[in-house]
Amino acid sequence: MAILTLKRKLAILSDAAKYDASCASSGSVKRDSLGGKGMGSTDGGMGICHAYAPDGRCISLLKILLTNFCVYDCAYCVNRVSSNVARARFSVDEVVDLTLGFYRRNYIEGLFLSSGIIRSADYTMEAIVRVARTLREVHDFRGYIHLKVIPEAAPALVEQAGLYADRVSINIELPKDESLADLAPEKDAAGIKKAMGAVRVSEDASREKGRKARPPRFAPAGQSTQMIVGADDATDGAILKRSESLYGAYRLRRVYYSGFSPIPDSTARLPLARAPLVREHRLYQADWLMRFYGFARAEIVGEAEDLDLAIDPKLAWALKNRGDFPVDVNVADRERLLRVPGLGVRTVERILEIRRFKQLELADVKRLSRGIEKLKPFLVCADWSPGALIDRADLRRRIEPQQLDLF
């Protein structure tokens, strides 16, 4: 067997990690080394794997697998045991040295580490935890660490992962339990949910107030998950229903949607074509509506339905509920303004702030928003009323975005 160079390992294992979309890097505690102790921080910067914090900052992460060897044979995974791909494996010390070396060169601010399953879930999870523990305890690394948790691993190992990582994630994999049983028989949907529940319990315990002996901080940036879209016949409504359930039951920070991409030598049970990128985009938009705009999943799409790919979910909802419009920007409350197509959370906050001092006109809204033509049928301003525009039969055609071939 040929001995791989570190550079070749990095090429293989960074490429293998690209299929995991959940490289989140926001919501953690602030750490730095300004006092002359430790190395790293959780503030600022740009670099290798770009993820974005809620305030718009770009966080750079070294995104790699510990190994792409795997004993599982998940049909949708390019790293499955039966796949004919180049294999590589980092040692714990190699991952630590790469992370520290890239940080010293100002390439990264943190590490996103996942892995295929080698020997057993416990053996692999122990190695992942050892990377994080070495960075934190031996090198006093204060940058961001996101660890992918193996749900089949022992609870004690999952607990340790949360003590060293800023965020942990456990992939739910597929929207339907029956699809997981069919395409990934070694994985158990109930076991994945149980592991998610254990993470939530540890999170809650670390935040519990009024305790004399408060447990150490556990994954301060919370947990996330990922679903593969298009590998089975799940509708968009079913996918979002699963997300709604996960947010409620496990208080996830984020659900990521990864469009299925055909892989070499795959089973005939998988589709031949990749999921459209625009479908993934619409799911993220709908997810955003549920998390930040006060929409229930059932308002956006029925369980047996798919999202309209031609227009964004908020506009689709508005066109179906024209009786709720137009909305007066000078008197409507925050909840009603958030339902206006084209008004984002920050724009609504600015409107609420400005109207304390003046009546907003259409030109004011235009300066705050990105597309006034999309807004005009749904708004009343001091100098503008849409009249019968909201009831026009051709309203969708008038405001529907063009150049759909970009997707």
Residue 41 pLDDT level (bands cut at 50, 70, 90): low
Q: What does the pLDDT look like over 331-372, one tens digit per residue?
A: 999 999 999 999 999 999 999 999 999 999 999 999 998 888
pLDDT for the residue 1: 52
User: Would you say the C-alpha torsion 366, 371, 376, 378 has a positive or negative sign?
Assistant: negative
CATH topology for 6-300 is TIM Barrel (3.20.20)
Residue 69 has pLDDT above 60, yes or no: yes
Residue 376 has pLDDT above 50, yes or no: yes
pLDDT for the residue 43: 47
Q: What is the DSSP letter of 64?
A: E
**Beta-strand relationship, 58-65 and 49-52:** antiparallel
Give the H/E segment covering residue 142: none
pLDDT for the residue 404: 43
For the entire predicted model, the pTM comes to: 0.86
In residues, how long is the chain? 407
**Three-state secondary-structure class, residue 65:** strand
**Separation CA 160–CA 27 (nearest Å):** 20
- Residues paired with residue 195 on neighbouring β-strands, in sequence order: none
Looking at per-residue pLDDT, the higher value among 406 and 219 belongs to: 219
What is the pLDDT averaged over residues 163-183?
94
What is the pLDDT averaged over residues 364-382?
91
**Three-state secondary-structure class, residue 256:** strand
Q: What does the pLDDT look like over 318-333, one tens digit per residue?
A: 999 999 999 999 999 9
Q: How far is CA 374 from the centre of its chain?
A: 28
CA-to-CA separations, 128 to 37, 67, 182, in angstroms, rounded? 25, 10, 28
Tokens, residue 80:
């499955």
Q: What does the pLDDT look like over 255-288, one tens digit per residue?
A: 999 988 887 777 778 887 888 899 999 999 999 9
User: In the chain, which segments carry CATH 3.20.20.70?
Assistant: 6-300
Instruction: Pick the closest to residue 140 from 99, 185, 181, 80 (CA basis).
Output: 99
